[in-house]
C-alpha cells in the first residue's frame, strides 16, 4: 500500500486531511513552516515527524542546517525525533555532536537516535558521551 493510500484511507480524519492537502512529501521547509505556525500539533505533529523521517536520507544535510541555524527549539526537537525514527547510520556524527554540546533539551533525543541506529559507531558515541 502506498503512502497516499495509507493517509487517504486512514481512520483518523486529520490523516485524511493531510492526504488531501499534501499528496506527496511537502519538503522539510514546509514542515518547518507548519511547526512554526503551530499547525504541527496532535496528529499533524506525528505526521510531520513521520514524513521527515521517511525522507531523511534525501534531506539529511538540509535537516542538519535547519537544526543548526534555526532559533526554535521546537523545530530542533522535530528534526531529532525524525532522525530517531529514520535511524540513519550517516547521522551518527551529527547526533554525536548534539550529545557533546550537552544541551539538556536535546540530549535524550540524540541518545535515543543513536540507540536506534545501533551500529558500532553509534554505540561508541553513546559510550563516549557517558565517559567524562
Question: Is residue 84 within 8 Å of 110, Cβ to Cβ?
Answer: no
Instruction: Indicate whether 18 pLDDT > 60.
Output: yes
Q: Which cell numbers in the block locate residue 105? A: 533539551
Report residue 46: phi and psi, to 5°. Answer: -60, -45
Instruction: Indicate whether 60 pLDDT > 50.
Output: yes
Helices (H), 3-86: 3-8, 13-21, 28-36, 43-54, 56-69, 73-86
What mean pLDDT, rounded, does the chain reach? Answer: 92
Average pLDDT in the 16-37 region? 93
For residue 1, the model assigns a pLDDT of: 39
- Per-residue pLDDT tens for 97-123? 999 998 999 999 999 999 999 999 999
Strands (E), 58-132: none
Instruction: Indicate whether 2 pLDDT > 70.
Output: no
Q: Which cell numbers in the block locate residue 68? A: 543548526
Q: How many residues does the chain have?
A: 132
Chain-centre distance for alpha carbon 6: 20
Does residue 6 or residue 16 have the better pLDDT? 16
For residue 5, the model assigns a pLDDT of: 62
Amino acid at each position: 500500500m502506498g503512502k497516499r493510500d495509507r493517509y487517504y484511507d486512514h481512520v483518523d480524519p486529520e490523516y485524511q486531511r493531510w492526504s488531501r492537502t499534501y499528496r506527496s512529501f511537502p519538503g522539510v521547509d514546509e514542515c518547518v513552516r507548519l511547526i512554526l505556525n503551530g499547525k504541527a500539533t496532535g496528529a499533524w505533529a506525528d505526521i510531520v515527524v513521520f514524513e521527515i523521517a521517511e525522507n531523511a536520507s534525501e534531506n539529511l544535510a538540509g535537516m542538519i542546517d535547519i537544526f543548526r541555524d534555526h532559533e526554535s527549539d521546537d523545530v530542533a526537537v522535530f528534526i531529532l525525533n525524525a532522525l530517531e525514527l529514520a535511524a540513519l547510520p550517516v547521522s551518527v556524527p551529527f547526533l554525536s555532536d548534539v550529545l557533546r554540546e550537552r544541551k539538556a533539551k536535546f540530549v535524550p533525543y540524540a541518545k535515543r537516535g543513536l540507540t536506534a541506529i545501533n551500529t558500532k559507531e553509534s554505540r561508541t558515541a553513546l559510550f563516549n558521551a557517558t565517559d567524562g
